[in-house]
Homo-oligomer: A and B are copies of this chain.
Amino acid sequence: MRFDPDHLKFNAAGLIPVVAQEALSGELLMLAWMNAEAVRRTLATGRVTYWSRSRQDYWVKGETSGHVQRLVELRVDCDRDALLVLVEQDGPACHTNRRSCFYTAVRDGEEVVIMEPMG
């Protein structure tokens, strides 16, 4: 079946959550959002392109930081309301300069930072 980004299930704001995972290591990098056009651009360019909810604009990951996400494969979930992008991530995925945005673990009820910013 032909993949049509318009046939995904978007929320009221026209967005779908996207999980980015490093293709080789399996490391979970971040969760962000796309609209249908961002999905199209990601597939057309091979550069992962989100929709920035704070800036209300397209966000080509790494465009300003250089920390590019190259698309290896896009996957759709069973309900068509979530996406997975397998990527090759240059440097840190997180704006805090950490490899992953999920650097805070909850252990015995306490928040523990388990990842340092990259050098």
What interface size band does chain A fall in? 35 or more
Knowing A3-B110, A43-B106, A111-B1 are in contact, say whether A30-B77 is a contact too (CB < 8 A).
Answer: yes
Q: How far is the CB of A25 from chain B (nearest CB, A)?
A: 7
A17 part of interface (Cβ distance < 8 Å): yes
Q: Which residues of B contact A105 (CB under 8 A)?
A: 73-75
Provide the A14-45 mask, 1 if CB < 8 A to any CB of B, else 0.
Answer: 00010101000111101100000000000100
Q: List 19 A-B contacts (CB under 8 A).
A: A1-B110, A17-B17, A19-B28, A21-B28, A25-B26, A26-B27, A26-B28, A28-B28, A28-B84, A30-B77, A73-B106, A74-B106, A75-B102, A75-B103, A75-B104, A78-B95, A78-B104, A82-B101, A84-B102
Q: Using a CB–CB distance below 8 Å, which chain A residues touch chain B? A: 1-3, 17, 19, 21, 25-28, 30-31, 43, 73-79, 82, 84, 94-96, 98, 101-107, 109-111, 114
